[in-house]
C-alpha cells in the first residue's frame, strides 16, 4: 500500500513507496513497537524484535476506518440576519391593546398590516398585509395552518376564545421560506398559545362595565 507511515521511534521511521515497499536503515538490535498508519485505514501496531542485519517484516493493511454516527444538537437561538420583516408581539402588549376586540385587531399598529371588524360581529375580522387579503396570508396556530383548504380564507369565528390563551404573535410581512403549502404571498401570522403551566390570574376588562 503506497503512502503508509511506518514508525519504530521518532528517529527510526519511513514511508512506503509507490509499490508499497518501505525500509528503515541502521536500526539497533532490540525490541520495538512498530506502528503502521495510513489515511482512511485502521492504525495497527506490532511488537517486533530485530535480531538480524537483514530483518524483513511484511505488513498487510485491510479494512477501512469508519466513523460512528455523529449527531449535532443546538439549543441556542440565534437571531436571523436575513432581511425579513418580522414583528413579535408579547403577552403583555396583546393584553394592553386587545380589549374586547378580535385578536387580529392588535396588529393594526404594526407597519404594513390593516385589520377591520366592519360588516360582521365577533370573529368576523378581516386582515390584510401589504395590501394582500387574508386569502393570501398564511395564518397558523402553534405552527398548524388554519387557512381554508379551498379558498384560503380564515374564519376567525372558528377560534372563539383564542385571545384568552394567546401568549405571543409573530407576524412576517412578505414571502418567507416554508415547507408548508400555504397561501403566504402577503405574509405569515403565527399565533403561539400559552402553556398549561402558566400563572393563574383574573383579568379585569373596563369595556365590560
- Per-position DSSP letters for 47-90, written without gaps between them: EEEE-SSS--------SB--PPP------------S--EEEEEE
Contacts of 89 (CB under 8 A, 6+ apart): 106, 107, 110, 168, 169, 170, 171
Instruction: Indicate if 155 and 91 belong to the same structural domain.
Output: yes
pLDDT band at 120 (very low <50, low <70, confident <90, very high): low
Phi-psi region of 135 (alpha: psi -120 to 50; beta: other; left: phi over 0): alpha
**For the ranges 30-39, 163-172, 179-188, which has the lowest average pLDDT?**
179-188
Domain co-membership, 56 together with 89? no
Do residue 61 and residue 92 come from a single domain?
A: no
In a domain, 72, yes or no: no
| Three-class SS state of 42 | coil
Range of the domain at 33: 1-67
Q: pLDDT by residue (tens digit) across 123-173?
A: 678 888 888 888 888 888 888 888 888 888 888 878 877 878 888 888 888
Last residue of a domain, one of 67, 94, 116: 67
**Domain contains 170:** yes
- Four-residue CA torsion sign, 157, 159, 161, 164: negative
> Does a structural domain hold residue 27?
yes
Percent of the chain with pLDDT over 90: 0
Q: Is residue 161 part of a domain?
A: yes
Q: How confident is the model at residue 75 (pLDDT cuts 50, 70, 90)?
A: low
| pTM for the full predicted model | 0.48
Q: Is 17 left (phi over 0), alpha (psi -120 to 50) or beta?
A: beta
Across residues 18-38, what is the average pLDDT?
A: 88
Report the percent of the chain where pLDDT is more than 70: 77
Q: Which of 61-75, 85-99, 123-137 is least confident? A: 61-75
CATH at 95: 2.170.130.10
Amino acid at each position: 500500500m503506497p503512502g503508509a507511515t511506518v514508525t519504530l521511534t521518532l528517529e527510526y521511521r519511513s514511508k512506503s513507496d509507490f509499490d508499497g515497499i518501505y525500509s528503515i536503515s541502521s536500526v539497533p538490535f532490540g525490541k520495538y513497537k512498530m506502528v503502521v498508519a495510513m489515511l482512511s485505514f485502521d492504525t495497527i501496531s506490532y511488537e517486533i524484535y530485530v535480531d538480524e542485519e537483514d530483518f524483513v517484516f511484511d505488513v498487510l493493511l485491510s479494512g477501512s476506518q469508519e466513523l460512528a454516527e455523529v449527531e449535532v444538537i443546538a439549543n441556542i437561538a440565534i437571531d436571523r440576519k436575513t432581511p425579513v420583516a418580522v414583528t413579535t408581539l408579547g403577552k403583555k402588549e396583546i393584553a394592553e391593546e386587545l380589549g374586547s376586540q378580535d385578536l387580529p385587531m392588535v396588529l393594526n399598529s404594526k407597519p404594513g398590516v390593516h385589520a377591520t371588524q366592519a360588516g360582521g360581529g365577533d370573529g368576523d375580522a378581516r386582515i390584510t398585509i401589504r395590501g394582500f387579503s387574508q386569502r393570501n396570508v398564511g395564518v397558523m396556530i402553534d405552527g398548524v395552518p388554519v387557512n381554508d383548504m379551498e379558498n384560503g380564507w380564515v374564519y376567525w369565528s372558528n377560534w372563539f376564545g383564542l385571545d384568552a390563551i394567546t401568549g405571543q404573535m409573530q407576524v412576517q410581512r412578505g414571502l418567507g421560506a416554508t415547507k408548508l403549502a400555504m397561501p403566504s404571498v402577503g405574509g405569515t401570522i403565527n399565533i403561539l398559545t400559552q402553556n398549561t403551566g402558566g400563572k393563574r390570574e383574573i383579568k379585569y376588562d373596563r369595556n365590560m362595565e
